[in-house]
Amino acid sequence: MARACPGLVPTLLVAIAVLSSGCRGKPHAPPPSLGPRIAVGRGDVEPRVVRVLHTEQGVLLETTSGIYELSAPRDDTFRIRLRRDRAAPRLPSFAVTAQPVTDAPRLEIDESDTAVILRTARARLRVDKDPMCLRLMTAGGEMVADEALRVRWQEPGVRLDFGLEPGERVFGLGDKVRGFDRRGHTFELWNTDAYGWKIDADPLYKSVPFWLHLGTTGRAHAVFVDHPARATVDAGQRRPAVVSYETRYADALDVYLFASAEPKDVLRAYTSLTGRPPLPALWTLGYHQSRWGYASEAEVFGVVARLQHDHIPVDAVWLDIDYQIGNAPFTVDTHAFPSFAKMVAELAASGVKTIVITDLHIKSYQNQPPPAQGYPPYDSGVAGDHFIHGGTGYFEGAVWPGPSVFPEFTRARTRTWWGRLYRGFIEQGVAGFWNDMNEPAVFVKDKTFPDSVLHRLDDESQAPHPLVHNAYGTLNARATYEGVKALRPGARPFVLTRAAYAGAQRYAASWTGDNTADRAHLAVTIPQLSNLGVSGYAFVGADVGGFAGCPDPELFAAWMELGAFQPFFRNHSAKDACRREPWLFGATIEARVRAAVQRRYRLLPYLYTLFEEASRTGVPVMRPLWLEYPDAPATLGVDDEFLVGRELLIAPSLVAGARRYQVTLPPGTWYDTTTLARLPGGVHDIEALPDDRVRVFARAGAVIPESALVRDTSRGLRGPLTLTVWPGPDSAGALYVDSGDGFAYQRGASRRLQLSSEGRADGLTVRSTSTGDFPPWWKEVRLVIHDVPRAPTAVIDANGPRPAYLYDKAQSTLTVTLRRAATDFEVSTNW
């Protein structure tokens, strides 16, 4: 039973607090002195609404404890702007897009003596006046979340309590590793360099104050606290019925409540505010080979040549800090890389793109005498006053190049300057950029800037570091993305960021940092990447093979097999860890790796289609089972499987040497794509495959588009379009096609095929209808229809001559070939 708002059990919260906040006006927040203080319990300072003012966007509530501005940017989203008092300064949002995808809802406001109710077509927010209490309700007036929000201003900071109903699960919060379901755990939001992080480590590299409550009925609602300050989120650990967000650094912040809906709709709403990942270039979905650090041109050419020779497809090779002079960003060590531009061009000519690391710390020359030092990033940064101030000059911290200075990414003009630093690399044909160490990392005990660092903002006010820390990496990625886009407007930028805050998905792919080559880290990729997906990040991966340590051959193969189904697929390892190019583990392992990478390449049409969907809707590519089956209780806690889109379920055997393992299949019917067996939803005990630790199941009803194997995507997708048909109900597949790069697709240069199959007692029809006129890459369509009980008596192409077909009795598989570049067709078989 939900507790009613006013019935909150009295709590005595002992908070660390300051005696005086002194944080009005500039600079923002925090406190000059700290001391203990007993604060807030019910009956003590329970806020009361004093005045209700109607505003252009909604209402403004003056209360005995702070000011609340309530509005509805969408008809499924309420925004609550909190301020301690009228003078409290507010940070600009680093997460919410300038032009959120909103549907300008009609907002009705009812006020009585006891309550104010905001109503949209899809939800209500009810505010009881005394004591003040906010509740989220459905449009019909049912309670979604009792205690949707309770605010406790503290000195310093604020605590926000959100009710957690019995049985509700909590997902999201970015790349945290504690709990797939976050309920019962506490998290620190503080982006942190975490080399060799342990399996339950916290904090890690990203802080996304967005979480989703998944109720027992399969409905979800969500919370986004748009505030990049140091904070904690206790998801029902200390108080089982409360998710508590607490920060010492806030006098004003925005909270968004997303109304009850299907979980996918909640993600659509969240990403309409914080942005969706841009459609990546096709090549970025290929295999990436990396290592810290390939140290010479010869080594790079050697690695690429061997992959190509061994028929392991590859689209990108990565250069870590060893290509630089003394690890200084934007330099190239010309002893080790004497013909850098030529190398990049030759690699590109062989089909492989070059991606380089460009950390944000700029080697400092500030204690060396002028004139200019001949290191353009430093010199131009000084000339434009782009580095963070500190002491009597620029704030300095030691990172890879030694003493370094740090760009003031909180200002637009510094971001523009940063973006222009990429000109040289762009001219040399470097295809993608890696923003690492951007938590920001500093080699000191606290791993980052001291709290005393002040950041300059666009309006010339200043913000103390803890207030903006979590946004710093996102602003770095934004500067890179926007700069690269301006320099090479015809191509889709590819940026990889390690640190992130809400909204970073608009600028960069991300990975989970310095993991370790062991089984636990392999297993945790599933809950970790799934939760990143439901935090708005579609383009994510983990270092495949593990960054630190040495995988045994079996672990390496298993990781490559699993990684091939995760959105960002990069083999990367530490300098002092053993090497892990695929051929180093023997021929048997290499054969497994080859098969896994090749399988991914054949699936690129399906994957690309899913990335396009993510860019339009915010629904991630890699999905926890509950995202598709929120009302199937058996799937809700499954953290060792995931869905790729709606149609493929990836179920690895994660225990070394296990002969059998359990697989949970969601409701409906599933095909084991290896054995072709048909299985009903439920828990199955299945055999672990010795030569492939990943079982792939296809939903009955799926139509999966595939292309021919290519060694890289530089010439686009090739060969016939293969549509693998797994007969079943509710068949609605898709294929999205465009040029694979550039922005012409935004002006209509694309095509979308709606794919479906429809079974009858004595046959089946496969249909494709397309919209858009982008030319198909294929000259031929092959339908591979499974579970066909007997040889067909007829195969009819409604728009063409009788197609060729072949029936494989042993496999019950019918292959039909349309020898034309068909995009719209209807093929029927009778048996």
Q: Which positions are annotated as active-site residues?
A: 436, 439, 514
Beta carbon of residue 176, minimum distance to ligand GLC (angstroms, whole number): 17
Which residue, 464, 76, 79, is CA-closest to 254?
A: 79
For residue 482, state whether it binds ligand GLC (rule: CB under 6 A): no
3 state DSSP class of 522: helix
Indicate which single residue of 320, 612, 672, 787 sits in contact with ligand GLC (rule: CB under 6 A).
320
For residue 251, state whether it binds ligand GLC (rule: CB under 6 A): no
Beta carbon of residue 113, minimum distance to ligand GLC (angstroms, whole number): 58
Burial of 350 (0-12, 13-18, 19+ CB in 10 A): middle
Q: What Rg value do the Cα atoms of the chain yield, rounded?
A: 27
> Is there a contact between 518 and 197 (Cβ–Cβ < 8 Å)?
no
For the chain, helix, strand, coil in percent to 5 are 20, 35, 45
Question: Which residue, chain included where needed, has tokens 């309409």?
Answer: 272
> Is there a contact between 490 and 113 (Cβ–Cβ < 8 Å)?
no
Q: By C-beta, is 579 or 790 nearer to ligand GLC?
A: 579
34 pairs with which residues across the strands? none
Beta carbon of residue 498, minimum distance to ligand GLC (angstroms, whole number): 6
104 pairs with which residues across the strands? none
The three state secondary structure string of 230-248 is: CEEEEECCCCCCEEEEEEC
Beta carbon of residue 199, minimum distance to ligand GLC (angstroms, whole number): 17
Which residue, 52, 47, 51, is CA-closest to 66?
A: 47
Beta carbon of residue 357, minimum distance to ligand GLC (angstroms, whole number): 6
Beta carbon of residue 301, minimum distance to ligand GLC (angstroms, whole number): 20
Spell out, one character per residue from 647 to 666, where the chain touches ligand GLC: x when CB under 6 A holds, - when not: --------------------
Q: By C-beta, is 436 or 672 nearer to ligand GLC?
A: 436
> Which residues, 6+ apart, have CB-to-CB distance to 75 below 8 Å?
103, 105, 106, 120, 121, 122, 123
805 pairs with which residues across the strands? 816
Question: Which residue, chain included where needed, has tokens 């806690």?
Answer: 637
Beta carbon of residue 196, minimum distance to ligand GLC (angstroms, whole number): 9
Torsion, CA 705, CA 707, CA 712, CA 715, rounded to 10: -110
Q: By C-beta, is 328 or 487 nearer to ligand GLC?
A: 328
For residue 321, state whether it binds ligand GLC (rule: CB under 6 A): yes
Which residue, 36, 78, 370, is CA-closest to 223?
A: 78
For residue 168, state whether it binds ligand GLC (rule: CB under 6 A): no
- Segment 337-376, which members bind ligand GLC (CB under 6 A)? 357
For residue 439, state whether it binds ligand GLC (rule: CB under 6 A): no
The 10 Å CB-count burial string (b at 16+, else e) for 64-100 is: ebbbbbbbbbbbbbbbbbbbbeeebbebebbbbeeee
Spell out, one character per residue from 564 to 593, where the chain touches ligand GLC: x when CB under 6 A holds, - when not: --------x---------------------
Q: By C-beta, is 358 or 731 nearer to ligand GLC?
A: 358
- DSSP H or E stretch at residue 353: strand 353-357
For residue 513, state whether it binds ligand GLC (rule: CB under 6 A): yes
> Which residues, 6+ apart, have CB-to-CB distance to 629 below 8 Å?
635, 666, 667
For residue 508, state whether it binds ligand GLC (rule: CB under 6 A): no
User: Two tokens at 27?
Assistant: 């600079």
Beta carbon of residue 434, minimum distance to ligand GLC (angstroms, whole number): 8
- Segment 488-507, which members bind ligand GLC (CB under 6 A)? 498
For residue 166, state whether it binds ligand GLC (rule: CB under 6 A): no
Q: By C-beta, is 498 or 594 nearer to ligand GLC?
A: 498
Q: By C-beta, is 266 or 577 nearer to ligand GLC?
A: 577
The three state secondary structure string of 194-228 is: CCCCCCCCCCCCEECCEEEEECCCCCEEEEEEECC
Which residue, 347, 324, 95, is CA-closest to 227?
A: 95
Q: By C-beta, is 494 or 736 nearer to ligand GLC?
A: 494
Indicate which single residue of 75, 408, 436, 640 sits in contact with ligand GLC (rule: CB under 6 A).
436
- Alpha-carbon distance of 721 to 817, in angstroms, equals 10
For residue 323, state whether it binds ligand GLC (rule: CB under 6 A): no
Beta carbon of residue 391, minimum distance to ligand GLC (angstroms, whole number): 27
Q: By C-beta, is 79 or 469 nearer to ligand GLC?
A: 469
Query: 217 in the Ramachandran plot: left (φ > 0), alpha (ψ -120 to 50) or beta?
Result: alpha
Indicate which single residue of 195, 311, 588, 715 sits in contact with ligand GLC (rule: CB under 6 A).
195
Beta carbon of residue 102, minimum distance to ligand GLC (angstroms, whole number): 37
Query: 589 in the Ramachandran plot: left (φ > 0), alpha (ψ -120 to 50) or beta?
Result: alpha
Beta carbon of residue 516, minimum distance to ligand GLC (angstroms, whole number): 12
- Segment 10-29, which members bind ligand GLC (CB under 6 A)? none
For residue 197, state whether it binds ligand GLC (rule: CB under 6 A): no
- Alpha-carbon distance of 173 to 252, in angstroms, equals 21
Q: Count the residues of the shown chain that bind ligand GLC, applying the rule CB under 6 A.
A: 10
DSSP label of 747: G
Q: By C-beta, is 136 or 321 nearer to ligand GLC?
A: 321
Beta carbon of residue 320, minimum distance to ligand GLC (angstroms, whole number): 5
Which residue has the closest beta carbon to ligand GLC?
A: 292
For residue 292, state whether it binds ligand GLC (rule: CB under 6 A): yes
Start-end of H helices in 641-798: none
Torsion, CA 705, CA 707, CA 713, CA 718, rounded to 10: -130
For residue 514, state whether it binds ligand GLC (rule: CB under 6 A): yes
Q: By C-beta, is 514 or 712 nearer to ligand GLC?
A: 514
Pairing of strands 353-357, 316-319: parallel
Beta carbon of residue 641, minimum distance to ligand GLC (angstroms, whole number): 27
Q: By C-beta, is 357 or 607 nearer to ligand GLC?
A: 357
- Alpha-carbon distance of 632 to 636, in angstroms, equals 7
Q: By C-beta, is 318 or 726 nearer to ligand GLC?
A: 318
CA distances from 153 to 29, 99, 158, 315, 431 (A): 13, 31, 4, 52, 48
For residue 234, state whether it binds ligand GLC (rule: CB under 6 A): no
Q: By C-beta, is 409 or 511 nearer to ligand GLC?
A: 511
Helix axis angle for 519-533 and 553-563, nearest 10°, is: 10
Contact set with ligand GLC (CB under 6 A): 195, 292, 320-321, 357, 436, 498, 513-514, 572
